[in-house]
Structure 1
Amino acid sequence: MNSAAAIQSYKNVRTQTGVTDASPHRLIQMLMEGCLESLAKAKGAIARNDDALRSEMLSKAIAIVGGLQIVLDFEKGGEIAENLNALYHYMTKRLFEANQESDPEIINEVARLMINIKEGWDGIADQVD
């Protein structure tokens, strides 16, 4: 096994262990972090004119936002869950547009929204763990 493959194997094990040991709250944080990372990579791909990577990273971000949307608890979350649902829908729409137009400004807009949501989520950590 070459060193690159060994490093990737280590990262996969570390990620799997982190997910296994994470609380539900932490799992949502990890999804948000993954989304932000994918958005940053998509912007880099746009700068390098790497259409394949741009599309891959934006597809990954769209899937993560969709996952966040699916786990919303409308019974417990009420109006907040409804607002997040609408915001996630908007973010998904904008990410499709970013991919079609190869527009880093749209990605920045979605990243700012995700950062705001994540800051709120991070702020309630002591209330749910």
Structure 2
Amino acid sequence: MAVTASKSGSGYARGAGAYARVGVESGVMSASPHQLIVMLFDGALASIRAAKLHMENGNTQEKGKSISKALDIVNNGLRAVLDGEKGGEIAANLDALYDYVARQLLQANLHNDVEKIDEAVRVLDDIGSAWRDIGPQVNGN
């Protein structure tokens, strides 16, 4: 079976998707460690906001996928880079906050609770904003 790419066909969509992935991968490859953390916050928040929209629209399957993606970013991205030895109390506090966010997301998914989603967004947005604010100091500007 031959695959042809046309603007209206799925070949075009696959090509556009591949182009977007290359853009994201290029951004990751050129990002500083600080920028990578900002990207993790952005990705988690985008996934949580998507989950909220899916929840409000009754799309249970997509809600679950979005929450799973957000949990993966929080648990295997943000929590995984914490250094308890170097970070001390700050790292321990962040770990507790990320655990709290993960529990909020699990409860939101289980009970279709928009308030839990909003709480997870609030906490991650607060931490992410603080992280963005220290960017100039970290990057030497």
Answer yes or no: same fold by TM over 0.5. Answer: yes
Q: CA RMSD in A?
A: 1.0
Aligned to 1:15: 24
Deviation at 1:3, TM superposition (A): 2.5
1:28 corresponds in structure 2 to: 37
Aligned ranges 1:51-66 → 2 under 5 Å? 51-66=60-75
Normalised by the length of structure 1, the TM-score is: 0.95
- Mapped to 2, the partners of 1:74 and 1:128 lie a distance apart of 19
Higher relative contact order (Cα pairs below 8 Å, separated by 6+ residues):
1
Equivalents in 1 of 2:65, 2:113: separation in Å?
15
Percent identity between matched residues is 42
State the AA in 1 paired with 2:22: V
Q: Higher helix fraction: Structure 1 or Structure 2?
A: 1
Structure with larger Rg: 2
Offset, 1:6: 2.0
Cα deviation, residue 101, structure 1: 0.6
Point out where structure 2 has 5 or more consecutive residues left out of the alignment.
Answer: 6-10
- Paired residues in the alignment total 129
Match of 1:37 in 2: 46
- Residue from 83, 93, 97 that aligns with 1:87: 97
TM (norm. structure 2) is: 0.88
**Which runs of at least 4 in structure 1 moved beyond 4 Å after TM superposition?**
none
Aligned mates of 1:121, 1:76 — CA distance in 2: 17
- The letter of the residue matching 1:92 is A
* 2:105 is equivalent to residue 102 of structure 1: no
Structure 1 CA distance for aligned equivalents of residues 34 and 137 of structure 2: 10
